[in-house]
Structure 1
Amino acid sequence: MAILFALGSAFFYGVADFVGGLLSRWADPTTIALIGQFGALLLSLAAAPFFPAPSVELADLIWGAVSGIGTGMGMVFLYRGLSHGSMSVVVPFVAVGGTALPVLIGVTVLGDRPTVPAWLGIVLAIPALWLISVTKNGPQGSRAAGTLDALFSSIGIALQYIALAQAGAEAGLWPIVAGRVAAALAILPLARPSSAKLRGIGTRTVLAAALTGGMAALALTLYMLAAQLQLMSIAVVLSSLYPVLPVVLGITVLGERLTVRQLVGLLSAGAAVGLITWS
């Protein structure tokens, strides 16, 4: 069940990234991200009473809030890096760093001990994320500029995963709720779009952005459930395979071409899932 939760998390994260990426072409990306967090907050607040929460400790809410700060940090630096850096470095750096750091913390600090097949899956999955996410090369100068932002973004994503995994199972969805409040507060000071960019945000865009945030909240919920039933390092790796879906949707919906590197990455990701599931 934990494997299915983690893969479900990757699925909904992938859909959210794909739709959010399309919306960000038409309107201010940071504003789209902020609306998404409000949508995620509304969904998690509506769903929280239906999830058993016999014991909601202050520590659980704090871990959820720290996770939300990581979400806000990850998104802000990702958009900042993409605004002046090379996508061919920023996106794969964030995907790999946001996966490798939690695995490292899980093994060295939290005492995770994956099986041999699971280790093989992790070793395959991390470079697979890079190959799936990488695009054509950009200018060397912009690549150097985007790398630092990508590093901070990957730390934020890693913090999101690590902190949320520490929330107790008896707290229900309330850590997710606390995280969405913290994420919105982290993004709010940076959401200052020009009037020209605001004109691109109509009712449909707002609803779509809110729905995208709801899907991201669902993805986080499934990840949290997976981390409560499985080693965090395994849950993170499987949940982080979300770049697979935007690539597949880009090919099938937008008519984009699959590169050789992406094909190798997709095959490696499939093999990684097989090895982790086998373990």
Structure 2
Amino acid sequence: MAIALSLVSALAYGIADFLGGIFAKRATPWQIAVVGQSSSAVCALTAVALFPGDPTAADLGHGAIAGLGGGFGVVFLYRGLSTARMSVVAPISAIGAALLPVGVGLASGERPAAIAVLGIAFAFPAIALISRVPDADTAHRGGVVDGALAGLGFGVLFVFLGQVSDGSGFSALAISQVTSVLAVIATATVLRAAWVPRDAVAWRAVVMGPLGATAQGAFLFASQQGLLSVVSVISSLYPATTVLLAAVLLRERILRWQGVGLLLAALAVTFVALA
């Protein structure tokens, strides 16, 4: 069940990220992030009203920190997707998102099978190949940086959602979504970026709310049933959906070495899933 939930999370994240990248090309990524995350918060709060659960103070604290990481991650992901190719930004963010929780899981005593460790090892050359861009391609180089920052934020999100206890319901998820909106606003303010969604295009991001809430909710329950070091890598499959949609609908070309990197990333996730 943990594997299935992780795959649901990956699918929902991938579709949401594709839409976020499209919308962020027509409005600022900060506006898209605020609307999308606010919509997710409404969905999560609705779920709490229906399934309150019994969260502890620690659960709510973990949810709040997870939201700070998620908000930081999503805004840099959308900024990267709006200026560089989706097939570059999304995979970098995904592998970065997987590495941090894997490290935390191993440090906390998790011991995945040998084949899972092999899969994790494939992630490192994958990062180098996927993030390699031509010297003249400054826009894509900026996308690499944004993808790395997004991966760091998502790694924090996965780590702290993975600490939420069973039986807590959706309360920690709701706290996470609310604090993610605050994180987006705070980051935009520090960078002096306009985040108030005045553009009508930005409000289209409201459709991303159910996807974001589904992705995080599926990951939350997957982490309660399986190893953090395993479910985080499987949930990081989300670029497969994003890149496929970008290739089919946007005609984005995947460079040869990036294709090798994507193959290594796929092998990394596959080995972990087979463990």
Q: Scaled by the length of structure 2, what TM-score is found? A: 0.83
2:267 aligned partner: 271
Structure 2: which amino acid aligns with 1:242?
Answer: Y
Q: Report how far residue 24 of structure 1 moved.
A: 0.4
Q: 1:194 to 1:129 in 2, by over 3 A?
A: closer
Structure 2: which amino acid aligns with 1:116?
Answer: A
Structure 1: which amino acid aligns with 2:57?
Answer: L
SS of the residue 2:167 aligns to: helix
2:110 aligned partner: 112
2:121 aligned partner: 123
Structure 2: which amino acid aligns with 1:35?
Answer: V
- Asked if the contact 1:28/1:198 (under 8 Å) is kept, the reply is no
- Asked if the contact 2:9/2:219 (under 8 Å) is kept, the reply is yes
Structure 2: which amino acid aligns with 1:100?
Answer: L
Structure 2 spans left out of the alignment, 5+ residues? none
Number of aligned positions between the proteins: 271
Identity of aligned residues (%): 36
Query: Could you give the per-residue CA deviations for residues 107-156 of structure 1, whole angstroms, max 9, x where no partner exists?
Result: 12x1111001111222234544665x547435598888777766554332
1:28 aligned partner: 28
Q: Report how far residue 218 of structure 1 moved.
A: 0.9
- Asked if the contact 1:226/1:235 (under 8 Å) is kept, the reply is yes
Query: Could you give the per-residue CA deviations for residues 37-56 of structure 1, whole angstroms, max 9, x where no partner exists?
Result: 11001111222344461x21
Q: 1:129 to 1:223 in 2, by over 3 A?
A: farther
**In structure 1, how many angstroms separate the alpha carbons of the residues matched to 2:160 and 2:225?**
16
2:217 aligned partner: 221
- Asked if the contact 1:66/1:163 (under 8 Å) is kept, the reply is yes
- Asked if the contact 1:86/1:139 (under 8 Å) is kept, the reply is no
1:168 to 165, 168, 177: 165
2:194 aligned partner: 193
Q: Report how far residue 240 of structure 1 moved.
A: 1.1
Q: Report how far residue 277 of structure 1 moved.
A: 3.2
Structure 2: which amino acid aligns with 1:247?
Answer: V
**In structure 2, how many angstroms separate the alpha carbons of the residues matched to 1:40 and 1:239?**
18
Q: Report how far residue 237 of structure 1 moved.
A: 0.7
- Asked if the contact 1:67/1:160 (under 8 Å) is kept, the reply is yes
Query: Could you give the per-residue CA deviations for residues 155-197 of structure 1, whole angstroms, max 9, x where no partner exists?
Result: 32211111110011211111110011111112124275399x8
CA RMSD of aligned residues (A): 3.2
**In structure 2, how many angstroms separate the alpha carbons of the residues matched to 1:3 and 1:51?**
23
- Asked if the contact 2:67/2:176 (under 8 Å) is kept, the reply is yes
**In structure 2, how many angstroms separate the alpha carbons of the residues matched to 1:224 and 1:103?**
15
1:71 aligned partner: 70
- Asked if the contact 1:103/1:236 (under 8 Å) is kept, the reply is yes
- Asked if the contact 2:93/2:148 (under 8 Å) is kept, the reply is yes
Query: Could you give the per-residue CA deviations for residues 10-37 of structure 1, whole angstroms, max 9, x where no partner exists?
Result: 1111101101000001111101000001
Q: Scaled by the length of structure 1, what TM-score is found? A: 0.82
Q: Report how far residue 233 of structure 1 moved.
A: 0.8
Q: 1:31 to 1:130 in 2, by over 3 A?
A: farther
Structure 1 range deviating more: 261-270 or 62-71: 261-270
- Asked if the contact 2:24/2:81 (under 8 Å) is kept, the reply is no
**In structure 1, how many angstroms separate the alpha carbons of the residues matched to 2:250 and 2:83?**
25
- Asked if the contact 2:67/2:175 (under 8 Å) is kept, the reply is yes
Query: Could you give the per-residue CA deviations for residues 74-124 of structure 1, whole angstroms, max 9, x where no partner exists?
Result: 23444667789999986655433322122112112x111100111122223
Structure 1 range deviating more: 255-264 or 217-226: 255-264
**In structure 1, how many angstroms separate the alpha carbons of the residues matched to 2:198 and 2:44?**
27
Q: 1:127 to 1:224 in 2, by over 3 A?
A: farther
Q: Report how far residue 63 of structure 1 moved.
A: 0.6
2:57 aligned partner: 58
